[in-house]
Amino acid sequence: MERIDIAPGLTLSRLVYGMWRLAEDTDTSPARIEAKVEACLEQGITTMDHADIYGGYTVEGIFGHALKAAPALRDKIEIVTKCGIVAPAGRHAATRVKHYDTSAAHINASVEASLKDLATDRIDLLLIHRPDPFMDADETGPALDTLVKSGKVRSVGVSNFRPWDFSLLQSSMEETLVTNQIELSLIHTPAFTNGDLAFLQERMIAPMAWSPLGGGSLFDGSRPELLAALKRIGTEQGVDETAVAIAWLLAHPARIMPVLGTNRLDRIARIADAAKVEIDRQTWFELYTIATGKEVP
Ligand code: NAP
């Protein structure tokens, strides 16, 4: 599995496994989580994507129980987590209005809670989950710098930021924001042309792509022409349609890191097939044309 240099001394696996749906699984026992992580590791997927809010602030704790049961796993993986969304659930049950909080106090409290729940002494990559319209970059930026200096967080980045949000936060920081995790798939293509990817490419920052299979909507019958094309290309190359959809992201020069969310061990075991798929320029545009519903001008 290819690895992406993200910060000095820190690499991420090109394919990342996401934990958003972890609490939806019928089995959330430590043994089941360990089996998923092992299935990822067998494919060379070492990077695990979390957020404090997943599962109503429960998923990090579920994962932490598994790490306590199998502590040797910790040094085999990189943990990404996010902070900044405050919703009325779990430890924020008393919240009156769902909101964003990028204050130093909230970020620091969130990191402490994540470290405790994840049963770890360090977060490899901390992301600000959403752009905060009330953000004071002169407070948020130095708070992130201080966390990196403390060693509690090895690197920092953002998620769902537009270029201007990214530049504003970066302008108040000494550390470099190392990624932007954005929605990107054959179901959601705006970033290819709205400047989001171009901004990151210009700065040689590798993006992470969330819901790279459109959260499963590629396969639910709503996009029959797209699914048929993915299946045909998959048959030609001896892989399944999931691998082709991921390969379409991997083929792009921006060094996109797809974050996959399946709960099924059999699907995890086949994810790395995406690296075997050849997507040439015309095949890329064939899928893009079907995805956007119009020929390029
Ligand atoms: P995804 O991989 O696009 O979608 C996963 C969903 O697709 C699962 O429900 C899975 O069902 C289904 N699926 C996968 N392959 C399938 C197939 N061949 N046929 C039918 N269904 C299939 O990604 P996601 O779960 O939406 O998101 C991935 C990760 O991105 C999350 O875990 C989270 O870490 C991250 N994320 C970040 C943000 C953000 O704001 N930064 C937002 C959303 C998500 P099965 O479980 O049955 O396989």
Q: Split the chain (297 residues) into runs of 10 and give each run's mean pLDDT.
A: 96 98 94 97 97 97 97 97 97 97 98 98 98 98 98 98 98 98 98 98 98 96 96 96 98 98 94 94 98 97
Closest CA to ligand 1's atom 38: 210
Predicted confidence at residue 232, as pLDDT, reads 98
Cα(186) to ligand 1 centroid in Å equals: 13
Q: How far, in whole angstroms, is CA 203 from its chain's centroid?
A: 19
Look-up of token digits 């690296």: 275
Which pair of structure tokens corresponds to residue 232?
């045909």
Tell me how many degrees the CA angle 34-36-40 measures, rounded to the nearest 5: 115
* Closest by CA position to 273, among listed 251, 247, 255: 247
Predicted confidence at residue 210, as pLDDT, reads 98
Predicted confidence at residue 114, as pLDDT, reads 98
* Closest by CA position to 242, among listed 222, 217, 225: 217
Give buried/exposed letters for 94-111 (b at 16+ CB in 10 A, else e).
eeeeeebbbbbebbbebb
Tell me which amino acid residue 95 is: T
* Closest by CA position to 102, among listed 78, 122, 126: 126
The verdict on the CB of residue 259 being under 6 Å from ligand 1 is yes
For the chain, what is the radius of gyration of the CA atoms?
Answer: 19
Residues 63, 118: Cα–Cα separation, whole Å: 6
The string of DSSP codes covering 71-136 is: GGGGGG-EEEEEE-EE-SSGGGTT-SS-EE--SHHHHHHHHHHHHHHTT-S-BSEEEE-S--TT--
The string of DSSP codes covering 210-224 is: ESTTGGGGGGSSS-H
- Return the active site residues: 54
The verdict on the CB of residue 218 being under 6 Å from ligand 1 is no
Look-up of token digits 């990077």: 47
Residues 235, 228 contacting (CB under 8 angstroms): no
Right CATH for 3-216+254-275 from 3.40.50.2300, 3.20.20.100, 3.40.50.12780, 3.30.360.10: 3.20.20.100
Q: Tell me what percent of the chain is helix, strand and coil, each rounded to the nearest 5.
A: 45, 15, 35
Tell me how many degrees the CA angle 165-166-167 measures, rounded to the nearest 5: 95
The verdict on the CB of residue 211 being under 6 Å from ligand 1 is yes
Give buried/exposed letters for 237-274 (b at 16+ CB in 10 A, else e).
bebbbbbbbbbbbbbbebbbbbbbbbbeeeebeebbbb
Strands (E), 177-234: 177-183, 208-210
Please report the atom of ligand 1 found closest to the CA of residue 182.
41
Q: For a substitution probing ligand 1, which of 20, 48, 129, 161 has the most ligand atoms within 8 Å of its CB? A: 20
Which pair of structure tokens corresponds to residue 286?
């064939």
Predicted confidence at residue 199, as pLDDT, reads 98
Predicted confidence at residue 72, as pLDDT, reads 96
The verdict on the CB of residue 217 being under 6 Å from ligand 1 is no
Cα end-to-end distance, the chain, whole Å: 36
